[in-house]
A and B are shown apart, each in its own frame.
Chain A
């Protein structure tokens, strides 16, 4: 996981020198691989173990630092203007594969102007090795690198019948991804489709047919959660590994999904001059249950204390 030191400062104000912070991270479980300077910014490569999907974004790493140094964590607030029009008049979402995609949300933005991202924004992506494409795609990548939640932007007008269907792929279904290569799918893989064909390989990669281009005016922003096992199997079988599949394989916090969606849409409205935003959520399972922690039990095996079972 590449971290821009300058970007990190958005979320936590660290006075300590980089080397010291890097040591503290290492001793809290984020191994330091290397530190390099890219375009004048220190970029730190941290090894994130597969149980720490929460650290696959700058906010997660900042949270670690904030805890280690007892500092405040500054999470940006979102205030998304809502439209009077109901999203159901524009789009219908149907989830036929909740075992692999327990939650699917979509937001619609109309009247965007596609162009390059502001330079500071594009530079942040470049320093951590992500090639800027256009202001919409950059926004989805930026938010992924911020909160760890992968997002996908579709060209709304390329979605046939204004209908999104989350479904298992058909046996030997063909899919052309944004890497312009064709893949043959099987029914264990999740497809995000319209009434006619597959638009994206869920959780792994978007398709070239519904890709955001210079002529795109209306957008659909997808934020969903996918089951790690399904994504792992798909990525392995197709040998198609993406930053998105990497994160879903490690289980992204489903509670952060809506924040990421709003954060992304807010930025697009701000920078792409989009006019209206509509939201739709399809929830097929609870947003995750509470984790039970027994402090007494923790002390039992951590320290020299006998477990009191009462």
Chain B
């Protein structure tokens, strides 16, 4: 049971944090159509977090709002990658591309999870995640083939910066073996291997190169976070914390 909760928590926390980060572009994305698309993807992510927290509630945890808004940063199990500030749009797009390809593979495998509510959920939302990946890949191919030196340089720099964090997505959580043994999930190593193949094949269609010998930035799955997470959580819950008993 603890292993299952661990899996659900890391996925829910990833979705909530990336959803909030992507939502920070609402109103200020570089073009209106992109504003709408990025915001919709953010909304999907928040919806996924909500469903996963509901699943945890069914297993005896607090309700979704409490889990999402009222825990402190050191209780979160998201990878550090998702909590980094949005930066310029180049970074946000590179993160979207790297992170969502991992999500897509994760959900494809989760469709066979032994925890039936999770399997059902994965089968239901796979189409949403598919669109997220189509969107991320399309931009990566476009900007990764930029006609200007500045454009290419910026994308390459963001890829170099983001890649070690992206490898941290696959950090094992303490119960990794049990998660696999119980059939909840195929495990991070399998996802990482398939993810590398996908990322390589998309990058091969651009003028960019993947950094070599990158060391994963880990810690998130063990509750270790950058200072950015607590700042974000504070902003996210500022209204609710004024009076948590208010009915919305």
A binds B: no
